[in-house]
Amino acid sequence: MTTSEWPLWEVFVRSRRGLSHTHAGSLHAPDAELALRNARDLYTRRGEGVSIWVVPSAAITASSPDEKDPFFEPAADKPYRHPTFYEIPEGVKHL
Amino acid sequence: MATAAHRIARTREEDSPADEAALAAAYEAAFDAAVAADERIEPRDWMPDAYRATLVRQIAQHAHSEIIGMQPEANWITRAPSLRRKAILMAKVQDEAGHGLYLYSAAETLGTSRDELLDKLHSGRQKYSSIFNYPTLTWADVGAIGWLVDGAAITNQVPLCRCSYGPYARAMVRICKEESFHQRQGYELLQALSRGTPEQHEMAQDAVNRWWWPSLMMFGPPDDQSQHSAQSMTWKIKRHSNDELRQRFVDICVPQAESLGLTLPDPDLRWNEERGHYDFGEIDWTEFREVLKGNGPCNEQRITQRRAAHDEGTWVREAAAAYAEKHTAKDITKDRSKDITKDGAKDGETTA
Ligand SMILES: [Fe+2]
Ligand SMILES: [Fe+2]
């Protein structure tokens, strides 16, 4: 049997309860169980996490950097989605 | 930035070969603008081939240094003088393995594979830091490495946290956080020896004498002889010149050595009021080049041991892969049998 490279996994760590999982980095592992164990050893040696997700890198669909401006354009010309767009008379409170 | 990217998108739709040069220029302009604006370049962004190659070379060399660097220190794990020191040293060596892994991952985002990187290390086509080709002769060397070698590495690495390539910069942030423990445990170890018996003090001094000059060489050749420096500065891979960082390190170390009660082995070392820095003696660059060429005291041993570790781990990698394959196969069969029962039931319904 040849040892072709183990698949790549992306690691997400929840640093403490109440926060969402954040991307920490990636690693190679033969399966999900070992990916989790390796992730623990690699990314939480100093209590950096209370929960870990591992996701096969191949399972991620990403937007293309080439299209990043047109792709996000629909949001760019809608300043009225921000509260600062609106003029409120001085002195009005709790708004 | 936005206009360049728009132009790229538009040119692409037209897809005419005549526009290819314009397209390349637009990509390049977008890259240059991002670097100039101190934005980060991310893996799927367009980048010049030479930028990619420079990063692969530098990150790979850095990753290799982390894992080869485990050897000289691991040499003392079984002989650490106390359980406390042993636990500390194991944690440090384990950290260095982690640093290697962060960096290999960063290099892989540039399109090389882990196998390829290891292969190049094993066959000598990629280098690691020369410092690890020196032997660790006494326990005090563990202290000198932590203080001076990790110290020099930190001086080099802190500016790399702002490197223009995102994955490398992020790996460096993680590494720098962990390095400060490495330096402090070394300093504390040397302090204990320096304040111990005369023999222990002597041992600490001897270690510093041997590690001082090689640590200064870690910053690379002088600026006027450094091949890659200028381009790396333009690309913001590097933020400071070799000599600048070396000077910074010397200035930091002198008072630290004084506090340790140890001397640095350089008769020319003295404060220069005018420059506001310490002057220091000439570095023996012939020695540096010899070690780089493979003629250091431990080059042979380090690479042999690395290859052996890799070869001896083959059965583990194979076993884990076989186990994973077996279980994936089983899962698929399970899923398929579920489908079959479902289909069977459906068939049953239609035929009924
Ligand atoms: Fe390290
Ligand atoms: Fe270190």
Of A74, A63, A69, A76, which Cα lies nearest the Cα of B9?
A: A69
Q: For residue A8, how far is its CA from the centre of ligand 2 (angstroms)?
A: 25
What length does chain B have? 352
Alpha-carbon gap, residue B145 to B208, rounded angstroms = 9
Q: For residue B48, how far is its CA from the centre of ligand 1 (angstroms)?
A: 29
Residue contact A1–B170, C-beta within 8 A: no
What's the gap in Å between the CA of B111 and the closest CA on chain A? Answer: 13
Q: Scanning every residue of chain B, which has its alpha carbon at the shortest distance from the alpha carbon of A57?
A: B109
ipTM for the assembly: 0.88
**Partner residue facing B105 (CB), from A26, A41, A65:** A26
Residue contact A31–B5, C-beta within 8 A: no
Which two tokens mark B248? 């910074």
pLDDT at A81: 92
pLDDT at B334: 64
What length does chain A have? 95
- Residues A57-92 have pLDDT tens digits of 999 999 887 777 788 888 888 889 999 999 999 999
Q: With H, G, I as helix, E, B as strand and everything else as coil, classify residue B47.
A: coil
- Residues in chain A closer than 8 A to B95 (CB atoms): 45
Q: With H, G, I as helix, E, B as strand and everything else as coil, classify residue B105.
A: helix
Burial class (CB in 10 A: 0-12, 13-18, 19+), B206: middle
Taking a C-beta distance cutoff of 8 angstroms, is the pair B20, B26 a contact? Answer: no
- Residues in chain B closer than 8 A to A41 (CB atoms): 98
Alpha-carbon gap, residue B20 to B119, rounded angstroms = 36
pLDDT at B345: 38
- Residues in chain A closer than 8 A to B6 (CB atoms): 69-70
Task: Identify the nearest ligand to the CA of B179 by its number.
Answer: 2
Of B98, B240, B54, B63, which Cα lies nearest the Cα of B162?
A: B240
Q: For residue B66, how far is its CA from the centre of ligand 1 (angstroms)?
A: 5
Handedness of CA B305, B311, B314, B315 (dihedral sign): negative
Taking a C-beta distance cutoff of 8 angstroms, is the pair B277, B208 a contact? Answer: no
Query: What's the CATH number for A3-85?
Result: 3.10.20.520
pLDDT at B343: 42
Taking a C-beta distance cutoff of 8 angstroms, is the pair B157, B60 a contact? Answer: no
Task: Identify the nearest ligand to the CA of B62 by its number.
Answer: 1
Residue contact A70–B6, C-beta within 8 A: yes
Q: Which DSSP state fits B146?
A: I
pLDDT at B350: 34
Q: Would you list the domain boundaries of chain A?
A: 3-85
- Contact of A62 with chain B, judged by CB distance below 8 Å, is answered with yes
Task: Identify the nearest ligand to the CA of B185 by its number.
Answer: 2
Task: Identify the nearest ligand to the CA of B100 by its number.
Answer: 1
Taking a C-beta distance cutoff of 8 angstroms, is the pair B242, B222 a contact? Answer: yes
Residue contact B9–A30, C-beta within 8 A: no
Alpha-carbon gap, residue B226 to B58, rounded angstroms = 14
Tell me the pTM: 0.88
- Return the percentage of chain A with pLDDT > 70, whole number: 96
- Give the mutation candidate from A42, A54, A67 for the B interface (greatest B CB count, under 10 A): A42
> pLDDT below 50 — which residues of chain B?
1-11, 339-352
Q: With H, G, I as helix, E, B as strand and everything else as coil, classify residue B309.
A: helix
pLDDT at A72: 87
Taking a C-beta distance cutoff of 8 angstroms, is the pair A52, A37 a contact? Answer: no
- Residues in chain B closer than 8 A to A9 (CB atoms): none
Q: For residue B81, how far is its CA from the centre of ligand 1 (angstroms)?
A: 23
For B298, phi then psi, to 5°, come to -125, 10
- Residues in chain A closer than 8 A to B2 (CB atoms): 69
How distant, in Å, are the alpha carbons of A4, B131, B210, B296, B352 from that of B143?
Answer: 39, 15, 12, 21, 82
Average pLDDT, chain A: 91
Q: With H, G, I as helix, E, B as strand and everything else as coil, classify residue A53.
A: strand
pLDDT at B335: 58
